[in-house]
A and B are shown apart, each in its own frame.
Chain A
């Protein structure tokens, strides 16, 4: 096994372990922090896969902005824990079985359907995935989708404000 494989295995173990811990944590704040760890591990993986720009976007937008929003809402609502009672007893084992089934199916499709050879790392130029390269593509071929994304973010912002504002004439909750 090469050094690259060991690095990949380490990152994969961190990512999977943090995802499992996220699912098992009773406290939602711990779940959020484990998810941050998962995002950072995947960001390092992106960095090693010639996707430096996406790695930095992942850290700033996902691990930074989105997870801060999550933590803010968890603490705002005081909703770290939800009661342990469960209405459907069979739901949990059924979910795990279906999840394992889906995993087996996906791995089967990936390994049988995709003919992949060892990655041609030497052929990829140093600039592949760098911020200038991605930026040039974003502002030339993908200019219209880029602008539409800004409209989408504006719409999301307006939607979030409208959904959470106080109703007119309603007193603010103490």
Chain B
């Protein structure tokens, strides 16, 4: 696809900003978490477009590692959400304001 890199970076920036807004606006912890995934995805898109521009596969290898780390992060994060739900019976992030369980 012969598209200027600027377009791809602009799309990546828009998706990243939407992810930030999601983290700040939503209070459902799971949706906040999904917004974080959206931001990771935007960063991956930027890396892929840079890899194409510089004709270097290292960018794609980096994206592969980011996806693997994201999978690990999701497993631990969702386990934390389940543990919080067990004690608080809510996943509203405004409810999770104390350090004690």
Contacts and interface: CB of A to CB of B under 8 A. Distances in A.
Interface in A1-37: 2, 4-5, 7-8, 12, 15-16, 19-20, 22-23, 28, 31-32, 35
A155 B33 CA distance: 20
Interface string A66-106: 10011001101101011100110001101110111011001
B35 to A, nearest CB: 7
A82 B16 CA distance: 24
Contacts of A133: 57
Contacts of A142: 61
B38 A35 contact: yes
Nearest to A71: B30
Nearest to A129: B60
Interface residues of A, number: 87
A108 B8 CA distance: 14
A87 to B, nearest CB: 5
Contacts, number: 236
A157 B75 contact: yes
A49 B8 contact: yes
B71 A61 contact: yes
Contacts of B98: none
A107 B11 CA distance: 9
Given A69-B74, A99-B20, A107-B10, A120 B55 contact: yes
Interface in B36-54: 37-38, 41, 44-45, 48-49, 51-53
Interface of B: 1-11, 13-22, 24-28, 30-31, 33-35, 37-38, 41, 44-45, 48-49, 51-53, 55, 57-58, 60-61, 63-65, 67-76, 78-83, 85-86, 90-92, 94
23 contacts: A7-B1, A8-B1, A16-B14, A28-B28, A38-B38, A49-B49, A51-B63, A54-B60, A61-B71, A62-B67, A70-B34, A73-B78, A92-B25, A99-B24, A102-B20, A103-B14, A106-B17, A110-B13, A114-B6, A114-B9, A120-B55, A121-B2, A163-B76
